[in-house]
Structure 1
Amino acid sequence: MSVSTAESPLSGVRVVTLAPNLPGPVAANRLVTLGATVTKVEPPAGDPLAVASPDYYRLLAEGQEVRTLDLKDAAGREALESLLEDADLLITSSRPRALEKLGLAWADLHPRHPRLSQVAVVGHAGTDADRPGHDLTYQAKAGTLSPPMMPVIPVADLAGAERVVGDATALLFHASRSGTGGYREVALAQVVEDAAASVRSGLCGPGTPLGGGLPTYGIYRTADDGWIALAAIEPHFIMRLGEELGVDPMDRDSLEGAFLRRGQDAWEQWAAERDLPLATVRPALRS
């Protein structure tokens, strides 16, 4: 159930974002849903996302004021400074050396706007923050790719956006208590490394509990050549599944034979009636 803006936790919070492409817009969109007022500042050439995916761009920019400013121009920088005077949070995604040239590094911003907090999205942490990269290269280094397949979802960008929101709300909370803004850096390469810990720890990946090693957590073909996703992990779900299917032992061969008895929609209805975690597999999305 949605809530009104007045009831939203970030109602009254003013955000300025200079971050184009994907992590910044996704984070800004999420902040809007939480009640924040967001001004999206774009360069004269616009946000590259608007060219790559116009529909996604419009979806993510919904509810925001979009301003076009040339920050390489004195008038553009002056207009930005006016926006920052009343802002609580600034989101950036330029490399540190680019921000320094514009006078937008934290060391420059904080004295001018002591109440303002900043979340800086970078590719790599620490001294490597100026090193170029994108979601694909971050995933490559983290070991989450299966060449030559391209990733279906940009994990670094989308998970990084959620980290931006988390760090932003922490900064806003701190500022509300201290009266002083703070700074956080979100390194997208580190976001993927953190996510890949599930693979390094043996939870995900081929043959692991969430990667095919557990028969009751997998994808099965159905009688109509469709597919269902079964996610019975907890003992009570596994026990009920076996009882309802009449399958013993609960191995992959037995489950494959059982699920070939009905079509995928029939299985989903069957599972809903028995409170079991099973869903039909939606065909892969195509743009």
Structure 2
Amino acid sequence: MQADLSAPKLPLPAKPAPALKSLKGIRILSLALNLPGPAALMRCRELGARCVKLEPPPHAPAHASGDPMSQYNPTAYAALHEGVRVRVADLKTDSGQRALQRELASADVLLTSFRPSALSRLGLGWKTLHRQYPTLSQVAIVGAPGAGAEEPGHDLTYLAKNDLITGLDLPATLYADMGGSLMATQAVLQAVMHQAAKGTGLYVEVALSDAATWLALPRAWGLTKPGAAVGGGHAGYRVYPCKDGRVAVAALEPHFAARLCTAAGMEAATTRAMFAPATQQAIADFFLTQSRLQLDRLAAAQDIPLHTLSD
């Protein structure tokens, strides 16, 4: 017997809890361009930090003409830099270096995303910085750790190296960049805690390739390999077509799987039976009889984790 699909009153979404201002009073100077650094800076600002960013001038050579994000996606650039005080400084000039030193003198954390050799040429190697500003910390975002920090790479190549690219399709988002930005935020918090405990600055390197490797651990463990529990093998954890779109169902735990089977007119299946082709077919057949609206109502009424999508 199918569940009653009469429309229940859906609860209003809860307001997100305000972020704890763990970095209140901390001043961060960023030289990081593109996505990972600015995304980390955005997160730090949400945590209460005062954020300043120095960007190359637009008239500088092509390889350093401002932040590339401002050119290829102004909307994203604006969102990333909301509340950030952005100043222009060409660090290859004397005036740019003076502006940099003024900002460094009052900063608690420096955020960078250059190769180590480029930082050294700008006088921003860690030994030099630490000697000049003993209490300043540096969070250095690089592509890969160690010698790999000098090699070219990007989000796509780091995902590819970790078996996270399917066929010829591009990933739905920039996983390594955004994962790296969270790791950089964590590094800022780590540096601030170190400063508070020891009174000296800390150098932390964040590699985007490490972020990709971290995100790929479930796949490395076999959790998401084809046929595995969350790789399409479990009938309750798949994407199915429905009458007017698709449904992503995540009824993995036995109690969720039992409710899904009941809704599909089946007896509750054992965990082993949820991997059987017959179970997958029965659930697939059921979803084809249901519209997105019916499935949304079913999810709310029967507490089944699913989300409907358009074709």
Q: TM-score, normalised by structure 1?
A: 0.93
Q: Relative contact order: is structure 1 or structure 2 higher (C-alpha 8 Å, sep ≥ 6)?
A: 2
Aligned AA for 2:260? L
Query: SS of 2:187's equivalent?
Result: helix
Task: Tell me whether 1:173 sits opposite 2:193 in the alignment.
Answer: yes
Q: Aligned partner of 1:275: which letter?
A: D
**Amino acid paired to 1:218:** R
1:64 match: 84
Superposition RMSD in Å = 1.6
CA distance in 2, matches of 1:188, 1:79: 29
TM alignment of 1:186-197, pairs within 5 A: 186-197=206-217
Superposed CA offset, 1:206-243 (max 9, x none):
2221110111001111112x011101111221122223
Counterpart residue number, 2:30:
17
Task: Quote the offset at 1:118 in angstroms.
Answer: 0.8
Give distance in 2, aligned partners of 1:52 and 1:265: 38
Aligned partner (choices 255, 261, 271) of residue 236 of structure 1: 255
* Aligned partner of 2:147 among 99, 111, 127: 127
**3-state secondary structure, aligned to 1:129:** helix
Query: What CA distance in whole angstroms lies between the structure 2 residues aligned with 1:107 and 1:143?
Result: 36
Pairing 1:271–2:299 present: yes
Report if the CA contact (8 A) 2:261-2:283 is conserved. Answer: no
- What secondary structure is seen at the aligned counterpart in 1 of 2:216? helix
- Give the AA of the match of 2:259: R
For structure 1, the residue ranges without an aligned partner over 5 or more in a row are none
Matches within 5 A, 1:1-287: 1-3=16-18, 8-44=21-57, 45-224=65-244, 226-248=245-267, 249=269, 250=274, 251-281=279-309
- Whether the 8 Å CA contact 2:29–2:104 is kept in 1: the answer is yes
Displacement of 1:2 in angstroms is 4.8
For residues 282 and 115 of structure 1, what CA distance do their matches in structure 2 show?
53
Q: Tell me which stretches of 4 or more aligned residues in structure 1 moved more than 6 Å.
A: none
Residues 27-74 of structure 1: per-residue CA shift (max 9 Å, x gap): 111111111111111111210011111111111111110111100011
Larger Rg, first or second structure (1 or 2) = 2
Paired with 1:279 and 1:96, the residues of 2 have a C-alpha distance of 45
Q: Measure, in 1, the Cα distance between the counterparts of 2:67 and 2:179.
A: 20
Q: Please report how far the alpha carbon of residue 19 of structure 1 lies from its aligned counterpart in structure 2 after TM superposition.
A: 0.5
* Alpha-carbon spacing, 1:130–1:170, altered in 2? closer, same or farther (3 Å): same
> Which residue of 1 is the match for residue 9 of structure 2?
none
Q: Partner letter of residue 218 of structure 2?
A: S
Please, which moves more after superposition, 247-256 or 98-107?
Answer: 247-256
Select between 67-76 and 133-142 the one with higher mean Cα deviation.
133-142
Could you tell me how far apart the structure 2 residues matched to 1:113 and 1:167 are? Answer: 19
Q: Is the 8 A contact 2:242 2:291 kept in 1?
A: yes
In the TM superposition, residue 194 of structure 1 has moved relative to its aligned partner by 2.4
Farther-moved stretch of structure 1 (193-202 vs 118-127): 193-202
The Cα shift of 1:11 comes to 1.1
2:135, 2:201 within 8 Å by CA — same for their partners in 1? yes
* Structure 2 gap segments, 5+ residues each: 1-15, 58-64
Matched residue type, 2:164: T
Are the equivalent residues in 1 in contact too, given 2:235–2:280 (CA < 8 A)? yes
The normalised TM-score by structure 2 is 0.86
Q: How many residues align?
A: 280
